[in-house]
Amino acid sequence: MTNTEKLLRELIALPSVNPAFLPAQNPRAGEQRVADFLAATAARAGLEVEFQTVSPGRSNLLARLSPRGKARQRVLLAPHLDTVNAADGQFTPSKRNGRLFGRGACDTKGSVAAMLTALCEMAEAGPRPAETEIIFAGLVDEEHGQAGSRALVASGLRAGLAIVGEPTRLELVTAHKGTLWLELETRGKSAHGSCPELGRNAVHAMARIVDLLHTSYAAQLRRRRHWLLGCGTVSVGAICGGSQANIVPDHCSILIDRRTLPGETDAGVRRELLGALRRKNLKASFAKQRVPTCLPLETDPKLPLVARFLQSIGQRKPVGVRYFCDASVLAHGGIPSVVFGPGDISQAHTADEWISVEALERGKRLLRRYLQLLS
Ligand SMILES: [Zn+2]
């Protein structure tokens, strides 16, 4: 068994479910067990280990490989340590037909194992880069509020590149869409259901808006294409209005899921939506936003550290993905970020989460080869 597979098996057997998904004090909750175990592994290999407290009992783990000479640039390997919740059996790793099963196998303890093993091998066998400091940054809370990546950015740590570990099928990802959840409201005037002409029906007004969003506004979005991400999308996920059959409703609201492209802003999207309504003489207003926006990711593939990564793994063009991750937080905090790791996102969060052991090992080799190229 390779060191990477051995480490991944040990990580699966140490539950690190995000505390947001479990009752308080549940023994499977929290990343600290995994962080402590990785810290011991890193220290044995000769890496300098440091914890960065994010909240009580939850710390990012930083494991540093210093260069031979003076550090002139820094590269981060930044996978997350938490997982979603799982059934009992998923905390015991098992292998069938070249696949290792268990919670976190692909999202994203596989990346953790590949990244840390690559770095430990460099520490033990050398050579170290001449002037690049490499830091493994195991982050907490990616699956819920991204408190770990936010804390890392807030600490002032900067780098020329962060490689965020997520299952990308070992393809280098430089872009993903953003997510904006908006609540839109229509107001009317209530009246007795037997004389609807005396009222103004807010549900009817909203019905016209929902139709507009899913037809002409969606078509408007399809006319703008990003070279890696395709088009932005809009979807109405919930509607709420009225109380009973014989009252003309005076209020209706919908929840809108708008996936944004790089360059789009919250304010711009709101203006665009209201403009589309106004052109059809429809009136509505936005309620106070309750869920913070997830910003889109777009990192320039021509940045030298990114271009060299693409070249070293033999990939001609970067790819874009639909899902959001820590890369967006780090990038908007000033650290150019890409996403890379073994496994496929379709295997993540499932009842039989797995990773191909061959892809895991290949991921470790590709990372090691790239890091070895750094000056
Ligand atoms: Zn993940």
The pLDDT of residue 293: 87
- Give the distance (Å) from ligand 1 centre to CA of residue 185: 34
The pLDDT of residue 345: 92
- Give the distance (Å) from ligand 1 centre to CA of residue 336: 18
Edge-first strand order for the sheet with 178-187 is: 233-241, 251-260, 178-187, 285-286
Which pLDDT band holds residue 361 (cuts at 50, 70, 90)? very high
- Give the distance (Å) from ligand 1 centre to CA of residue 97: 24
Q: What residues pack around ion ligand 1 (CB closer than 5 A)?
A: 107-108, 166
- Give the distance (Å) from ligand 1 centre to CA of residue 141: 10
- Give the distance (Å) from ligand 1 centre to CA of residue 80: 7
- Give the distance (Å) from ligand 1 centre to CA of residue 106: 8
Lowest mean pLDDT, pick from 20-29, 59-68, 191-200, 327-336 = 20-29
The pLDDT of residue 334: 97
- Percent of residues, the chain, with pLDDT higher than 70: 100
Can you tell me the mean pLDDT for 308-320? 97
- Give the distance (Å) from ligand 1 centre to CA of residue 174: 16
DSSP string, 119-177: HHHHHHH-PPPSSEEEEEEEBS-TTTT-HHHHHHHHTT---SEEEEE--BTT--EEEE-
- Give the distance (Å) from ligand 1 centre to CA of residue 82: 8
- Per-residue pLDDT reduced to its tens digit, 257-307: 999 999 999 999 999 999 999 999 999 999 998 888 889 999 999 999 999
The residue type found at 282 is L
- Give the distance (Å) from ligand 1 centre to CA of residue 280: 42
Can you tell me the mean pLDDT for 354-367? 98
- Give the distance (Å) from ligand 1 centre to CA of residue 270: 29
The pLDDT of residue 149: 97
- Give the distance (Å) from ligand 1 centre to CA of residue 142: 7
DSSP 307: H
- Give the distance (Å) from ligand 1 centre to CA of residue 330: 15
Does 323 have pLDDT greater than 90?
no
The pLDDT of residue 37: 98
- Give the distance (Å) from ligand 1 centre to CA of residue 166: 5
Which pLDDT band holds residue 213 (cuts at 50, 70, 90)? very high
- Give the distance (Å) from ligand 1 centre to CA of residue 345: 8
Does 328 have pLDDT greater than 90?
yes
- Give the distance (Å) from ligand 1 centre to CA of residue 111: 9
- Give the distance (Å) from ligand 1 centre to CA of residue 286: 31
Question: Two tokens at 238?
Answer: 């919930």
| pTM strictly above 0.85 | yes
- Give the distance (Å) from ligand 1 centre to CA of residue 177: 16
- Give the distance (Å) from ligand 1 centre to CA of residue 107: 5
- Give the distance (Å) from ligand 1 centre to CA of residue 36: 20
The pLDDT of residue 290: 83
Question: Two tokens at 284?
Answer: 């509505």
Which pLDDT band holds residue 143 (cuts at 50, 70, 90)? very high
- Give the distance (Å) from ligand 1 centre to CA of residue 149: 13
Can you tell me the mean pLDDT for 134-139? 98
- Give the distance (Å) from ligand 1 centre to CA of residue 158: 22
Mean pLDDT of the chain: 96
The three-state secondary structure class of 237 is strand
- Per-residue pLDDT reduced to its tens digit, 21-55: 999 889 999 999 999 999 999 999 999 999 999 99
Can you tell me the mean pLDDT for 213-221? 97
- Give the distance (Å) from ligand 1 centre to CA of residue 108: 5
- Give the distance (Å) from ligand 1 centre to CA of residue 324: 9
Does 114 have pLDDT greater than 90?
yes
Which pLDDT band holds residue 116 (cuts at 50, 70, 90)? very high
The pLDDT of residue 126: 86
The pLDDT of residue 322: 87
Can you tell me the mean pLDDT for 99-126? 97
Question: Two tokens at 269?
Answer: 């999207």
The pLDDT of residue 291: 81
The three-state secondary structure class of 265 is coil
Torsion angle of C-alpha atoms 354, 337, 56, 293, degrees rounded to 10: -90
The pLDDT of residue 309: 98
- Per-residue pLDDT reduced to its tens digit, 164-189: 999 999 999 999 999 999 999 999 99
- Give the distance (Å) from ligand 1 centre to CA of residue 143: 7
φ, ψ for residue 166, nearest 5 deg: -150, 160
- Give the distance (Å) from ligand 1 centre to CA of residue 211: 35
